[in-house]
Amino acid sequence: MPTSIVRELPELATAWTTTRGAGSVLAVVDEGVDLRQHPEFAHRDITYNGDPAGDGPERGRRPHGVKVAGLALGSGRNVLGVAPEASILAVGVPALSFATGDPAEADGLVWAADHGADVICCAWGPRQPTRTSGALPPRTRAALEHCLTHGRGGKGCTVIFSAGNDGSDLALNGYASHPGVITVGACNCHGTHPSYSGWGDALWCVLPSNDPHDPEGASMTYLTTAPAGSLVDGEAYYTTRFGFTSAATAAVAGICALIVSANPDLTNHEVRIVLRDSCEKMDIESGTYDASGHSILYGYGRPNAARAVELAGQQRLATHTA
């Protein structure tokens, strides 16, 4: 059955007693992010780039970015996202509908960093990557370095990528294996590894999502937003069909927005460490965790939003008393 992110992350209620994301800015860089006139995102400082509108018949065919935004940032009218009070930068890169590597993806990343993004959510990556097809283009690499070193006044944007849904080694994916990003995979409702989720040394963490090969987890998709006025999946404004690593990535992006809201002084590296240290191990017997606590199937585990916000606050206290 479809679920809500609040049900799967019950600790959000505790995290929200400290912050619901106010003051942080989350950029959704995706194939199309048309949030205009959607009741879930009213008065949220939305800004557009690339092909923001998709006003013609293509609009309803690019719902992915709107789904991402809803799970990360829904205000609670019908979808309560992880960071419901964070501001939004919606960055449309239509070329992502077809493939990675277009110069527009690099331009979108830079634009997000230069227009105030604290967190940049990239719930996409090369499809069925090989060493060649999954390589990170020089222009995109330069854009990522710009985000990580010049964003947020030099503290660096927190950049989050999906581990992908083709079950491949992340060593083949130059985007997700960039050493400065947070790479997010999926676990299923049993806390084990779904075969589609990308794996490897670059995996940072996982979050629950659907699992087509599991009888119980096959239908565990999330309620989220759809483009306003469309009939995506037969539903106007909302859809119950959002899952795989994209959903996990959107939720972790929301958690990172909560971390930044709780402590705006954190660098992107410190956000990564806070997220890592909030993680709870799963499938310990079969997870092949190494001496550092990392698993190629689960990264450092499943982030706990309440613990992450608490750790961010402790870091603020340590900084101010040092």
Provide the annotated active-site residues.
30, 64, 246
Helices 244-262, 305-321: axis angle to 10 degrees equals 30
Burial 199-210 (b: 16+ CB within 10 A, else e): bbebbbbbbbbb
CA distance 179 to 40: 34
Q: Quick one: how far is CA 99 from the chain centroid? A: 19
> Tokens 């759809």 — which residue?
226
Cα 306 to chain center, whole Å?
17
Give me the phi and psi of 168, to 5 degrees please.
-95, 165
161 neighbors 181 (Cβ within 8 angstroms): yes
Pairing of strands 25-30, 87-92: parallel
Query: Residue 271, exposed/middle/buried by CB under 10 A (0-12, 13-18, 19+)?
Result: buried
Dist CA 226 CA 223 (whole Å): 10
